[in-house]
Amino acid sequence: MNQTATTPPYIKETLNYLKFVLIILVVYAHSKPETAGNFKTFNMVQEVITYNLCAIAVPLLFLLSGYLFFREGTLNKELYVKKLKKRFKTLVIPYIFWTLAAVFVILVVAQRYLPNLFTGSFPNISTFKAKDWLDVFWIEPLQYQFWYLRDLFVTILLTPLIYLFIKKIGVFFLLGLLVLLLARLSEPIVGFSVSSIFYFSIGAFFAIKNIDFVKLSDKYFIPVTIIYAALFVVSVMVKNSNPLNFSVLVFMILPGMSFITGLVYRCRACFRKVPEVFYSSTFFLYAFHGLFIMGLVRLLSKVGLVSTDIKTVVLYLIAPIITIIVSALIYKVLIKIAPRFTKFITGGR
């Protein structure tokens, strides 16, 4: 983007709203009622929302991260070190805090007092060995949504190489990553993800090549919408179990990211009417929602809200709404009574 000063206001505003929308999709992706049977309506709703609509969320979050990381349009040793220090504060510190919070909630409180609410094959924390701590912190984070933060930080460590390849071979670097992604090669190291690097590098490409992807998404909004809608229908029809699904999903996500960016840009006036607390608490919602929505859905499931097809659909749809509202209310209280603590656990946001 070659910007050494400030990000244009319309980009800052669009990205602020866009991140909130994407986290809402992430919350819906984690709304998973334990059904009492094979409910056709619920299965279809879940197929459309969780496995297709929500599939855009994390790839676009990686794209935004790459775009913002390279917003100056360049990278040198001094800037790299500076950005690493900042990302340690915004990514690693919240990662450690919220993982420790999950350890306390699941492995200390829930195992003793609520064994049926949070299930899992975890040993008693008093018998934890080094491997167990590695599992809950890194291999399979207890805060399961934190795989994104884990992979993002690993990708950021690789940004000098990403910058070099984009400067030298440009779009061919992205095409190479796309081929590797479609090949579905196994990851040699947990956290080293071709998918994460690919989507992050798309955002990096836009910034380094000084391409305004917000205005670009708006300019081609109509044709991109048509392409996305067609691929969305194909992806739903192919279904999650089909071997072709992954390839179709990738090619649906690419125009989908542009579609949702353009849509948010065009709807900024509507987003301005939403209370600011929902935008300022976006990261808090991301960190908070995992355990809360898991417990909420299981609790409501146990009281009979998954006894019929329609009830299961209703639970699936309202659980994220409850989670979002509760998260915003808790954040609003915390930021008033303990602003420094709240900033600390949200990475200074």
Predicted pLDDT of residue 123: 64
Output the six-digit token pair for 2: 């070659």
Lookup result for tokens 């998973």:
32
Rounded percentage of the chain residues whose pLDDT exceeds 90: 73
Q: Please report which confidence band the pLDDT of residue 4 belongs to, taking 50, 70 and 90 as the band edges.
A: very low
Distance between CA atoms of residues 318 and 332, nearest Å: 21
Lookup result for tokens 């950005």:
83
Residue 5 has pLDDT above 60, yes or no: no
Quick check: 228 and 263 in contact, CB under 8 A? Answer: no
Distance between CA atoms of residues 274 and 153, nearest Å: 31
Predicted pLDDT of residue 214: 97
Q: In b/e form, how buried is each residue of 228-265, taking b as 16+ CB within 10 angstroms?
A: beebbeebbebeeeeeebeebbbbbbbbbbbbbbbbbb
Show Cβ contacts of residue 214 under 8 Å, excluding neighbours closer than 6 positions: 10, 11, 14, 15, 261, 262, 265
Q: Is 165 helix (H, G, I), strand (E, B) or coil?
A: helix
Quick check: 221 and 259 in contact, CB under 8 A? Answer: yes
pTM of the complete model: 0.93
Of 32-41, 89-98, 244-253, 307-316, highest mean pLDDT: 89-98
pLDDT in tens, 12-25: 999 999 999 999 99
Instruction: Name the least confident of 2-6, 42-46, 185-189, 279-283.
Output: 2-6
Output the six-digit token pair for 48: 């459309």
Quick check: 27 and 232 in contact, CB under 8 A? Answer: no
Alpha helices per DSSP H over the chain: 9-29, 40-48, 57-69, 77-87, 93-102, 111-113, 130-134, 147-157, 159-169, 171-183, 194-208, 213-219, 221-238, 245-266, 268-271, 276-280, 282-300, 309-337, 339-345
Q: Please report which confidence band the pLDDT of residue 189 belongs to, taking 50, 70 and 90 as the band edges.
A: confident
Distance between CA atoms of residues 196 and 152, nearest Å: 7
The three-point CA angle 244-245-250 to 5° equals 105
Instruction: Name the least confident of 39-43, 54-58, 344-348.
Output: 39-43
| Average pLDDT of the residues in 257-267 | 98
Distance between CA atoms of residues 153 and 308, nearest Å: 42
Structural domain boundaries of the chain?
A: 9-22+44-274
Instruction: Name the least confident of 105-109, 226-230, 269-273.
Output: 105-109
Between 331 and 307, the higher pLDDT residue: 331
| Average pLDDT of the residues in 52-69 | 97
Distance between CA atoms of residues 85 and 303, nearest Å: 47
pLDDT in tens, 213-250: 999 999 999 999 999 999 999 999 887 666 678 999 99
Measured torsion, CA atoms of residues 299, 304, 309, 315, in degrees rounded to the nearest 10: -30
Between 310 and 34, the higher pLDDT residue: 310
Between 121 and 97, the higher pLDDT residue: 97
Start-to-end C-alpha separation, the chain: 23
Q: Please report which confidence band the pLDDT of residue 1 belongs to, taking 50, 70 and 90 as the band edges.
A: very low
Lookup result for tokens 């094959």:
121
Work out the mean pLDDT of the chain and round it to a whole number. Answer: 91
